[in-house]
Amino acid sequence: MIAGTSGSSVSYFRYPNCERFDLHRGYTDYWILELDKLGNLVNEKTFGGFFEDDLENICATKDGGFVLTGSSVSQASGNKSESPYANYDYWIIKLDSNLNKKWEKVYGSNGREWGKHLVETQDGGFLLGGTSEGGISGNKLVPNYGDKDYWILKLNANGNALWQYSIGGGSFDRFAYLQETADQKILLAGTSISNPSAWKTVPLKGNFDYWVLKIDQNPYQAPNHIRDILDGTTFSVFPNPAAQWVQLNLNRQPRQAMVKLIDMMGRTVLQSEMAQSNLQMDISALSNGQYLLVMHEDGNLTLADVDTITLYLGPQNQAPYYDYCLGLKPRRIIFNPGTENPEFQDMATQQGIVCLEACTLVLLSTGQY
């Protein structure tokens, strides 16, 4: 398999009796050729819009297909179906074994991004790397630290982003290569002219230096992540706010988990089983507003052996938390002054939960808690 960038129209190429037969679409296109053992052309495809599309990397995948990685400034046109966010963006294409397109993804910001390298990971997803000069915008959720930074994304098997890293110093850092290590860390390499600043801790030795890092996966570094650690379980929900989708990540496999989105009236508007350590929910059909995301596990609960819930939330704001609080199966619920709610108290009592109207601080100070 040979892959690269072409600006040629349909024409004979270097090898005798071989003809380029797939259409040229723009200024430059992705061009992929399959040759037999004798160098004869078996199949070829071009992918591009009506302007510039530059291929940098091809990755063979475990299913017998391929993933193409590069950058594109073309609008949706030709056989490109997604437009860039501003200028050059990462353009990723998944192909089957016959070089037919299965899906494509564009990742970019209000600046320029150049996709450089992609590898398939042990879990069947992908690690994608390149160089970015844009800030938080488009579908880039992490800031830039200098003129140009490494921008690293973890994608699932369908090309959807699970998390992102932005890595750089205060000046110019250009990404070149990445690799997943045996211990599921990430090895990154590129060049840098940044002095120690932001991510970079080593001094500059010359003009352009090699800059190599080994980093963890699952960074949760974006400012619009919600992150918490509870009983050893790390979970992250992002982006927040969200428009098209919301992602939930755990640091372990869930146990018969159900994830619900609840509106401010306490109604479950969306729910999905969570069978893997990450779940992406399509929320594009929901109305604008505030929603509560709740995960229940039927095995060992993330919150186990809850004795008491003490409320400091007015009754008009409690409805979104009914299912969550009752699902914790506490022994009792304390309704502090001003939080009394007959509806909620009746629901709890029916489940055998003791409801107490009292002040938690007074109970503590008098030894009655």
Mean pLDDT per 10-residue interval, the chain, length 369 residues: 83 42 68 92 92 95 96 94 93 96 95 97 94 89 87 93 87 95 92 88 89 77 44 65 76 80 80 84 86 71 65 88 85 92 94 91 77
pLDDT of residue 306: 72
On whether the CB atoms of residues 108 and 139 are closer than 8 A, the answer is yes
Find residue 5's DSSP bridge partners. Answer: 30
CATH of domain 226-365: 3.40.50
Q: What values do phi and psi take at 349, rounded to 5?
A: -60, -40
pLDDT of residue 127: 96
On whether the CB atoms of residues 189 and 176 are closer than 8 A, the answer is yes
Sheet containing strand 29-35, strands side by side: 2-6, 29-35, 41-47
pLDDT of residue 303: 47
pLDDT of residue 280: 84
- Alpha carbon 306 to chain centroid, angstroms: 33
Residues 6+ apart with CB under 8 A from 232: none
C-alpha distances (whole Å) from 285 to each of 23, 83, 162, 261, 295 are 38, 22, 21, 13, 21
**Per-residue tokens: 185:** 């860390």
**Per-residue tokens: 26:** 């723009």
Q: What would the DSSP string read from start to end of 158-188?
A: TS-EEEEEEE--SSBEEEEEEEE-TTS-EEE
pLDDT of residue 298: 64
Which is it for the CA torsion 153, 160, 74, 28, positive or negative?
positive
- Pair type for strands 308-311 and 332-335: parallel
On whether the CB atoms of residues 126 and 159 are closer than 8 A, the answer is yes
Residues of the chain with CATH 3.40.50: 226-365
C-alpha distances (whole Å) from 361 to each of 79, 311, 314 are 66, 12, 17
Residues 6+ apart with CB under 8 A from 224: 141, 238, 239, 240, 241
Q: Give the 3-state secondary structure of residue 197.
A: strand
Q: Give the 3-state secondary structure of residue 364.
A: helix
On whether the CB atoms of residues 228 and 293 are closer than 8 A, the answer is no
Q: SS3 helix, strand, coil % of the chain, rounded to 5?
A: 5, 45, 50
Find residue 151's DSSP bridge partners. Answer: 130, 166
The percent of residues above 70 in pLDDT, for the chain, comes to 86
- Alpha carbon 120 to chain centroid, angstroms: 15
Max Cα–Cα distance, the chain, nearest Å: 95
Q: Tell me the HSE value of 256 on the side-chain side, using a 13 A CA sphere.
A: 5
Q: Give the 3-state secondary structure of residue 95.
A: strand
**Cis previous bond, 241, omega within 30:** yes
- Alpha carbon 99 to chain centroid, angstroms: 26
